[in-house]
Amino acid sequence: MSELRFRDLHSADEFRQVMDLEARVWGFTDLNDMVTLPVFTITVKRGAILIGAYDETDRMVGFVYSIVGMKPGQVLQWSHMLGVLPEYRNSGLGRALKLAQRDRALAQGYELIEWTYDPLQAMNAHLNFTKLGVVAEEYHRNVYGESTSVLHKGTPTDRLVAQWWIARPHVARRLTPGELIPVTTNEIAEAAPINTTHPAQAWLANTDIYLARDDRRLTLEIPMGFTDMQREAPALALEWRMQTREIFETYFRRGYRVVDFYLDRPHHRGRYLLAKKDA
């Protein structure tokens, strides 16, 4: 990643730059899907965190945005958007923006940042669990309704809620330079599989799904490239959405949560690690 500068955003001109980036990153065709200038203005004045990343030409190439949120017994930052230009994907910029967001939140006294993400996006799961140390125990159906984004079109916008406990030791360990702690192969090998898969032409499909497992740790396999699958194999993408919806909802009801993720790049797939909350 080339040298970039991060800065907190406060002006109308900066908010317009963020809106331009929204359109370019997500490909929105409907203004209703976007955060607009008035919303940025009022939320930033009342505690929202909005950080832009700029290259050497002072061009905005990424941003992260969170607002003040509440749930029973907990004040938090709700992270609504993290976006980087296509040429900066897989460069480490997304993680760097999240770390900057964490620094701001810690300075303001927060302990928790939450956000939603598509559980079938393997690269996002890799960032969230492996690199940042989130956990997840909430699944919500079709959160944003039908989206005009080219990244989301084709299936219901089901989402996991990522819980990032930014002051806890397990998160600090994940973020220590040189101390990336991926899921070990032993943990994956010893956990009971929730599903088995097989290649379906160019894609991965489920062969069997097991909804009555009671092991301490479980794994759930998902394909990489879900955005492309939605475009090129929409029926299979919808099948994955409905099957993983049932899996997450079933096991969350039974006291499991997602604690980690293993990205298997050579085989173009990933595996969630679920654990019983009382284990």
SS3 state at 60: strand
Note the pLDDT of residue 182: 59
Average of pLDDT values for 5-33?
Answer: 90
Q: How far is the C-alpha of 277 from the C-alpha of 74, rounded, in Å? A: 19
The band of 197, judged by pLDDT with boundaries at 50, 70 and 90, is very high
The band of 103, judged by pLDDT with boundaries at 50, 70 and 90, is very high
pLDDT at residue 204 tops 80: yes
- Show the tokens assigned to 218: 């479980």
pLDDT at residue 153 tops 80: no
- Domains defined along the chain, listed by start: 5-175 (3.40.630.30), 185-276 (no CATH)
Note the pLDDT of residue 3: 85
pTM of the predicted model over 0.95: no
Pairing of strands 74-84, 203-209: unpaired
Average of pLDDT values for 70-98?
Answer: 94
Q: Is the Cβ–Cβ distance between 224 and 262 less than 8 Å?
A: no
Note the pLDDT of residue 179: 58
Note the pLDDT of residue 147: 62
Spatial neighbors of 217 by CB under 8 A, at least 6 apart, are: 187, 190, 191, 192, 273, 274, 275, 276, 279
Instruction: Name the least confident of 21-25, 26-30, 114-118, 200-204.
Output: 26-30
